[in-house]
Amino acid sequence: MEPKATCPAAACLVERKFHVLVGVTGSVAALKLPLLVSKLLDIPGLEVAVVTTERAKHFYNPQDIPVSLYSDADEWEMWKCRTDPVLHIDLRRWADLLLVAPLDANTLGKVASGICDNLLTCVIRAWDCSKPLLFCPAMNTAMWEHPVTAQQVNQLKAFGYVEIPCVTKKLVCGDKGLGAMAEVGTIVDKVKEVLFQHIGFQQS
Ligand SMILES: CC(C)(CO)[C@@H](O)C(=O)NCCC(=O)N/C=C\S
C-alpha cells in the first residue's frame, strides 16, 4: 500500500500522497459515489480508495469508480492462511482519513454498538482514532426521526468521529424532510478543512 522508496533516505524525501478511504453503505445516496470520488480526486495530493458494503452496490456502477474498490469478497480472497495479509488491517494502516458517505441507518447502528460483520465495519472497528473519521448520515426521514438515531449519532461523536449532518430534501421515496446526505460540495469542503489542519500539524 505504501510507495516503495528506493532507499531509506529517499523515503523521507518522498512527500507521499494523503490517503482518503471512502466507505459507502446502502443508502440511495450512494448513487453520489462517482461524483464524490471525482471531486476528491480534484484535490491535489490526495489518493482515494473505496470500501463498499454489499447493499451499497445496488446504487452505483463500479465502472464509474476510477480508484481501488474493495468489498467483502476481497478480504476472503486475500486471506487463505495465517501468513496472508488481513485487508481491513492493511486498509486502516493505509488510510489517513476515513470518510463514510453515505452512512446508512444499518451501518450507523452497527458502528455505534461495535458490530463488525463486513469489511467496512471491520475497518471502522479497528480505526486509529488519532486519525479523522468523518461520517455522512443518510436515511429516510422516518428513520432519521426515530429516537435511536440521535443516540447512535451521539455515540459516534463521543468516539471522536466528525458528523457531516444530513440535510432536508424531497427524498426519492417522496417524503420531504431531514435524512438526505449532505451535498457533495459540503463533504469535499470538510475533507479539505481536515486535510489542511492535518498538513498544518505536519508542517509545524
Ligand atoms: C438520493 C439523494 C442524494 C438525492 O438527492 C437524496 O434523496 C438522499 O440523500 N437520500 C438519502 C435518504 C435515503 O436514503 N432515503 C431512503 C428512502 S426515502
Tell me the three state secondary structure of residue 123.
Answer: helix
Tell me, in angstroms, the distance from the centre of ligand 1 to residue 196's CA.
Answer: 30
Beta bridge partners of 135: 100, 163
Which of 176, 163, 161 shows the shortest CA–CA distance to 130? 161
Cβ burial of 43 (10 Å; 0-12, 13-18, 19+) is: middle
Q: Is residue 23 part of a domain?
A: yes
User: What pairing do the DSSP bridges indicate for beta strands 167-170 and 176-180?
Assistant: antiparallel
Beta bridge partners of 68: 49
- Return the residue matching grid coordinates 489542519: 197
pLDDT of residue 151: 98
pLDDT of residue 6: 46
Other C-beta atoms closer than 10 Å to the C-beta of 60 total 21
Q: Is residue 137 part of a domain?
A: yes
pLDDT of residue 121: 98
pLDDT of residue 115: 98
Which DSSP symbol is given to 124?
A: H
State the ipTM, two decimals.
0.95
Binding pocket residue ranges, ligand 1, CB within 6 Å: 27-29, 31-32, 138-140, 169, 171-173, 175, 179-181
> Among this protein's residues, is 12 annotated catalytic?
no
Note the pTM of the prediction, 2 decimals.
Answer: 0.91
pLDDT of residue 15: 74
Tell me the three state secondary structure of residue 122.
Answer: helix
Q: Which of 116, 136, 166, 173 is catalytic?
A: 173
Q: Is residue 176 part of a domain?
A: no
Tell me, in angstroms, the distance from the centre of ligand 1 to residue 6's CA.
Answer: 47
Query: What is the block-wise mean pLDDT of the chain (204 residues), using blocks of 10 residues?
Result: 46 71 98 98 95 98 98 93 94 98 98 98 97 98 98 98 97 94 98 85 53
Q: Is residue 7 part of a domain?
A: no
Q: Is residue 174 part of a domain?
A: no
Tell me the three state secondary structure of residue 19.
Answer: strand
- Identify the domain containing residue 151 by its residue range: 18-165+183-203
Q: Is residue 3 part of a domain?
A: no
Q: Is residue 178 part of a domain?
A: no
pLDDT of residue 100: 99
pLDDT of residue 49: 98
CATH number for the domain harbouring residue 48: 3.40.50.1950
Q: Is residue 114 part of a domain?
A: yes
Domains in the chain: how many in total? 1
